[in-house]
Amino acid sequence: MQTIFRRTTGLIVFLWMVTVSLSTAHAAVLQSGIHGMTWGGHADSYPRLEKVREAGDVSYYADRKMGYHAVGQPVSAVIYGFYRDQLFAAYIKLSSPNQAYYLKKHFSTEYGSAKVTAVDSSAQTIYRWGDEKVKIKLKVNEAGDEIKLGIYYQPLSTELNQAQAEDGPSDEIGPSLSNDKTDKSIPLF
């Protein structure tokens, strides 16, 4: 009887440890970087990136040969922000409300409930998640069907003026990114 109790207790402890380590490992996906690039990594370490805009100490890059998708649909654009030549952000323009719904569920599972802010004047809802290293912001504008996702590496983005970091690249570079892509498309996360 005591042996069965020990085995059962041991099995429960083991399953709990596996569950905790898997959820920690899964949430840690964005802790080290995004799309194979390390937070704080230098732009010249990623030769596939092409500079699309520069503003002071911030440069924006795109990978015109790679496509990403979420919920079986391509995302409109992915732009990477480098502050003083170090990766600090990824700006993702989503294509559909379905993608936003999926990502809200995904990040809520990974980081807990979102902090939600509604801006009535612009019919915009902002969802925020994060921890000490990564900040995630999903902006959904119901009026214009514009959906943007920003992922920021906290140590560098706090160095940078928050307004400049969170504004991201201008929309002028978003729509043209899909022109040169290959057929290769991988999941966003």
Q: Domain segments of the chain: what residues? A: 31-187
SS3 for 153? Answer: strand
Residue 49, classified by CB atoms within 10 Å of its CB into exposed (0-12), middle (13-18) or buried (19+), is: buried
Angstrom CA distances, 105 to 51, 53, 99, 102, 165, stand at: 32, 32, 10, 5, 25
**pLDDT value at residue 166:** 64
* Phi/psi of residue 114, nearest 5 degrees: -80, 150
- Of residues 81 and 179, which shows the higher confidence score? 81
Q: Please, are residues 69 and 75 in contact by the beta-carbon 8 Å criterion? A: yes
pTM (2 d.p.): 0.77
pLDDT digits (tens, 9 = 90+) for 153-175: 998 988 886 546 566 676 544 44
In whole angstroms, what is the distance from residue 142 CA to residue 53 CA? 28
**pLDDT value at residue 161:** 61
Closest CA to 176 of 54, 78, 59: 78
**pLDDT value at residue 85:** 95
Q: Please, are residues 53 and 170 in contact by the beta-carbon 8 Å criterion? A: yes
Residue 94 has pLDDT above 70, yes or no: yes
**pLDDT value at residue 140:** 94
- Section 75-81 average pLDDT: 94
